[in-house]
C-alpha cells in the first residue's frame, strides 16, 4: 500500500538501549516570540536562555517541543496547550521539550527514505502545523545521498518503520515512508555551546 504524505513532526518511539523514560526538560519561551511552535517541532536554545522553533540547516537543536503552559490574557486563567500560538501570554510561557540525547522518534520523509540512508544524517523541514490539534507538520527533508554524511545535520536515521505491515508509512518501496531517527547535532550530543 502506497504511503500518504501527512507529516506529524517528531513523535516519541523508544529510547536507544532502553524503554522510554518520558522525562522532559522545562524551558521558557519569550512571551514576545510571535512564531508558533507545534507539538513535535524541533526547537533551539537561544543565548537569552529561551527556546524558539528551529529553522532547517546545520542547526544544533535543543530538543522536540511537547507543549506549554501560560497565563492567557484573553481567558484570564492558566492555559495548557499542545502548541505555542505565538501570542496571548501575560508572561513567559513555560514549556516542555524532549531533550534526552538517546530518544528515538518516528518521522515521515518527503520522498523515499531508503535502507541505504540508515546510519546517515538527515535534515528536517517545518511544514505547516495544525492550529486545531496543535500537531507539528515537520518532516524529514530527504535530499541527495551526499547529505547523509554532513556531520552537523540535526538527526540521524537509525531504522525504517515497517510495523505493523500495511500501516501508515510502512511501505519502504515508495515515497513518504517513515523512519526512526535520533538526535545527531543536539545540545547534549555536541561539545559546542549555544
In this structure, is residue 90 part of a structural domain?
yes
Query: What range defines the domain where residue 73 resides?
Result: 25-98
Scored b (16 or more CB within 10 A) or e, 2-33 reads ebeeebbbbebbbbeeeeeeeebbebbbebeb
Residue-level pLDDT at 59: 81
Comparing C-alpha atoms, which of 20, 37, 40, 19 is closest to residue 28? 37
How many domains, the chain?
2
Residues 55 and 70 in one domain: yes
Comparing C-alpha atoms, which of 148, 89, 84 is closest to residue 115? 148
Pick out the chain residues at pLDDT < 50.
Answer: none
Residues 181 and 142 in one domain: yes
Residues 54 and 109 in one domain: no
In this structure, is residue 2 part of a structural domain?
no
In this structure, is residue 4 part of a structural domain?
no
pLDDT tens digit sequence for 129-184: 999 999 999 999 997 655 778 888 999 999 999 999 889 999 999 999 999 999 99
Residue-level pLDDT at 146: 59
Comparing C-alpha atoms, which of 141, 119, 144, 111 is closest to residue 10? 141
52, β-bridge pairs = 44
Residue-level pLDDT at 193: 58
Residue in the structure block whose three cell numbers are 492550529: 131
Residues 83 and 123 in one domain: no
Residues 69 and 113 in one domain: no
**Model pTM greater than 0.85?**
yes
Residues 106 and 92 in one domain: no
In this structure, is residue 5 part of a structural domain?
no
Amino acid at each position: 500500500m502506497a504511503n500518504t504524505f501527512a507529516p506529524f513532526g517528531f513523535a516519541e518511539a523508544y529510547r536507544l538501549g532502553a524503554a522510554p523514560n518520558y522525562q522532559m526538560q522545562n524551558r521558557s519561551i519569550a512571551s514576545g516570540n510571535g512564531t508558533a511552535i507545534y507539538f513535535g517541532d524541533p526547537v533551539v536554545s537561544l543565548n537569552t536562555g529561551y527556546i524558539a522553533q528551529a529553522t532547517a540547516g546545520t542547526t544544533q537543536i535543543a530538543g522536540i517541543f511537547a507543549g506549554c503552559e501560560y497565563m492567557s490574557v484573553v481567558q484570564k486563567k492558566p492555559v495548557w496547550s499542545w502548541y505555542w500560538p505565538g501570542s496571548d501570554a501575560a508572561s513567559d510561557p513555560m514549556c516542555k521539550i524532549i531533550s534526552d540525547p538517546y530518544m528515538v522518534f518516528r518521522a515521515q520523509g518527503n520522498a523515499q527514505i531508503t535502507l541505504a540512508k540508515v546510519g546517515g544524517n538527515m535534515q528536517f523541514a517545518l511544514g505547516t502545523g495544525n492550529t486545531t490539534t496543535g500537531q507539528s507538520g515537520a518532516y524529514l527533508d530527504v535530499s541527495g545521498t551526499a547529505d547523509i554524511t554532513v556531520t552537523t545535520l540535526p538527526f540521524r536515521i537509525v531504522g525504517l518503520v515497517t510495523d505493523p505491515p500495511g500501516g501508515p508509512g510502512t511501505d519502504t518501496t515508495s515515497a513518504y515512508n517513515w523512519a526512526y531517527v535520533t538526535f545527531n547535532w543536539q545540545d547534549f550530543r555536541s561539545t559546542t555551546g549555544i
